[in-house]
Structure 1
């Protein structure tokens, strides 16, 4: 099967520091001590099996030096052809955010920015402990992405969806790419309802699309049937024309093989039309990440 993988994390801790891997430890997503200290296109393609990976979108890996990370990724792309698109980290709350953007934008493969925004009452799931989207300076710097022609990878929890939808409405000239199908973290009836409603709030904004990925982070012993409702509910909310599949490797590799992940997605959407499947596995990625 042919795919474009729209959410991969390349790193090499000997080239660019990745603090959460040195030393690694337990996280809600799994035991990070089992993650490799180097993961690039070489390791991904070696483990791809019968999956033909046409192109790769690399999303920043919370490195200790985001600009060095982007430059290293661009070097990889020039040497080996991957990643085809880079989504870099910029702290949009910083006084020098505009300069950071300009520095990253020198890399030809740059397509977007991600600053993780996840806030949760449980410290196990909380990433940043700060509501960036409510901060005027952060919002002002976000609007600068349009001038660079950059998208914004939106990583939030369902409780943050309403504010994120407002943000998207105020920035119609920026493409927002929702990470990991909106990260349904609270796996109970109320959590499902909040996630489902949040998806629809975001999908009501035509400049928001989503990646279906990262599901194994909350479902370590997943089966096709356990993933099915999350995949289908996301497609129901956004439509096949605004969904992209992705692996979230090597993080999801703690709980799944690379080919097994893609074949699970394919089985879940087996009843979709050929055109719809082509869009979700290849065409939408080319369109939204401009690759």
Structure 2
């Protein structure tokens, strides 16, 4: 990202998501690179919201667009929460919802991809030890698919920085009760997914350090913010990248951390590919994402890094098949063992998925 290019660089403020325009996306169609390469997509959502619907059949359309997607992991997205009963248990509705989609994939009727083979749900970890009954109930209704928990915690003091409509506040990860609740995850073999901005990564470090028995997965490159004051000048953007790298390096020193490589379609990272006349080609997308991918791999190593789609959030800027082509371009010079780690093995290990090669 180079500040100043209004087409595909950091500038301005961020709306939570770019609007998905199927007709625009259809203007770019590419041949699939390495179509036989096994992929586990460890990060996508499902939802039905006013003006935005992405349900199982929509996901299936994407994962069957040419790449060999063996399995996917559903990530918490505040979908289908229970309308009645104890509010602490409302998020069980989302797990039931994702488990229903998983049953569709497991039937084989829609192809070989096991969608939602792993489920990362939500439980209010700030409840501390009181979160245990919620976790137990969630495990019980997940069909054996619950693999992690994620809370909405992304927060920034700049109002122009936005990637979610969830209500969050400063310092959530530093709450001792949150750490207490997060520590419970080890009892159930669950990972902790964290979507935070780079300005919160030191808080992520402190939390991950306190819960060494829990695998902590940092989403979307660790959230380098490319809008607002971080993109006001080229110097500000350079300073952001330096801060982001330093914080990621500190996180990488903890063996229980992992990082997802993706999220480049979120406006908060500073890319505005949706403003171009045509959707991006995978060559352009690879050029844009390579510095972030390479930094994360340098710091964490391939066995702690995994490519992710972040669909449908990122779908406003590029198609599913183009994104995975871009990832394959980025990894072109990697060894076969490194490619297996990045495209499937790290994700399968992190979320305890059995994937036939």
TM bucket normalised to smaller: 0.7 to 0.9
Mean Cα displacement is larger for which, 89-98 or 69-78?
A: 89-98
Which of residues 155, 158, 170 in structure 2 aligns to 1:119? 155
Query: Which position in structure 2 is the counterpart of 1:73?
Result: 98
Aligned with 1:156: secondary structure? coil
The runs of 4+ residues in structure 1 deviating greater than 4 Å are none
Q: Do structure 1's residue 8 and structure 2's residue 8 form an aligned pair?
A: no
Q: Using the TM superposition, name which of 216-225 and 171-180 deviates more.
A: 216-225
Alpha-carbon distance in structure 1 between the residues aligned to 2:191 and 2:148: 4
The CA RMSD over aligned residues, in Å, is 1.6
Say which of 68, 87, 92 aligns to 2:120.
Answer: 87
**Partner secondary structure for residue 249 of structure 1:** coil
Aligned length: 270
**What displacement does 1:206 show?**
0.4
* TM-score normalised by length of structure 2: 0.72
Match of 1:211 among 260, 265, 277: 260
CA distance in 2, matches of 1:140, 1:170: 9
Partners of 2:104 and 2:238 in 1: CA distance? 48
SS of residue matched to 1:56: strand
Q: Which residue of 2 aligns with 1:47?
A: 62
SS of residue in 2 equivalent to 1:63: coil
The answer to whether 1:191 aligns with 2:240 is yes
**In terms of mean alpha carbon deviation, does 89-98 or 110-119 score higher?**
89-98
Give 2:170's aligned residue. Answer: 130
C-alpha contact (below 8 Å) 1:91/1:97 kept by paired residues: yes
Q: Shift of residue 64 of structure 1?
A: 5.7
- Provide the C-alpha distance between the structure 1 equivalents of 2:292 and 2:104, rounded to a whole number of angstroms: 37
How much has 1:116 moved relative to structure 2?
A: 2.1
- Inter-partner Cα distance in structure 2 for 1:53 and 1:231: 20
Displacement of 1:79 after TM fit?
3.4
Which of 1 and 2 has higher RCO (CA within 8 Å, sep 6+)?
Answer: 2
Deviation at 1:78, TM superposition (A): 2.5
1:159 aligns with 2:175: no
Q: Which has the larger radius of gyration?
A: 2
Flag structure 2 segments of 5+ consecutive residues without an equivalent. 1-34, 82-90, 107-114, 232-236, 274-279
Q: Deviations over 1:174-220 (max 9, x none)?
A: 00011011011135011101111111111110000111011121313
TM superposition score normalised by structure 1: 0.88
